[in-house]
Amino acid sequence: MITVEEVQNTHQKKEFLNFPTRLYQHDKNYIRPLDKDINDVFSPEKNKFYADGECTRFLFKNKSETVGKIAVFINKSYEQHQPTGGIGFFDCINDQETANFIFNHCKNWFQERGIEAIDGPINFGERDKFWGLLTEGFLEPLYCMNYNFPYYKELFENYGFKTYYEQLCFSRPIFAEVSRVFTVMHAKYSKNAKISAKPLKKNNIEKFARDFTEVYNSAWASHGSGKQIEEAKVLKMFKGMKPIINEHISWFVYENEKPIAMWMNIPDLNQWFKYLDGKFGIIEKLKFLWVKKFKKNEKMVGLVFGVIPEWQKKGIEGFMIWEGTQHLRKHTDFKTTELQWIGDFNPKMIKIAENLDTTVTRKLATYRYLFDQEKDFERHPII
* pLDDT, tens digit (0-9, with 9 covering 90-100), for 335-348: 999 988 999 998 98
Which positions ≥6 away from 285 have C-beta within 8 Å? none
What is the C-alpha separation between 84 and 122, in angstroms, rounded? 12
Q: Which pLDDT value is given to residue 219?
A: 86
More confident residue, 355 or 139: 139
Q: What is the mean pLDDT of residues 282-299?
A: 94
pLDDT band at residue 178 using 50, 70 and 90 as cut-offs? confident
Of 13-17, 226-230, 239-243, 291-295, the one with minimum mean pLDDT is 226-230
Neighbouring C-beta atoms of residue 170, cutoff 10 Å: 23
Amino acid identity for residue 196 in this structure: S
Query: Would you say 242 and 194 are in contact if contact means Cβ atoms under 8 Å apart?
Result: no
Q: Which residues pair with 198 in a beta bridge?
A: 252
Does pLDDT of 170 surpass 90? yes
pLDDT digits over 68-101, tens only?
999 999 998 888 889 999 999 999 999 999 999 9
Query: Distance between CA atoms of 379 and 85, rounded to whole angstroms?
Result: 16
Confidence (pLDDT) at 266: 95
pLDDT in tens, 195-254: 999 999 999 999 999 999 999 999 876 554 456 889 999 999 999 999 899 999 999 999
pLDDT of residue 304: 87
Reduced to 3 states (helix: H, G, I; strand: E, B; else coil), residue 26 is coil
Report d(CA 211, CA 209) in Å as an integer: 5
Judged against a pLDDT cut of 90, whether residue 158 lies above it is answered with: yes
Task: Express each pLDDT in 21-51 by its tens digit.
Answer: 999 999 999 999 999 999 999 999 999 999 9
Cβ neighbours of 312 (radius 10 Å)? 15
Biggest alpha carbon–alpha carbon distance for the chain: 74
Angle separating helix axes 231-241 and 205-220, nearest 10 degrees:
130
**Rounded CA separation 78/76 (Å):** 5
CA distance 82 to 266: 37
Please give the mean pLDDT across all residues of the chain: 94
The separation between CA 196 and the C-alpha centre of its own chain, rounded to angstroms, equals 31
As a 3-state breakdown, the chain gives helix, strand, coil percent values, each rounded to 5, of 35, 25, 35
How far apart, in whole angstroms, are the C-alpha atoms of residue 146 and residue 129? 8
State the pTM of this model: 0.91
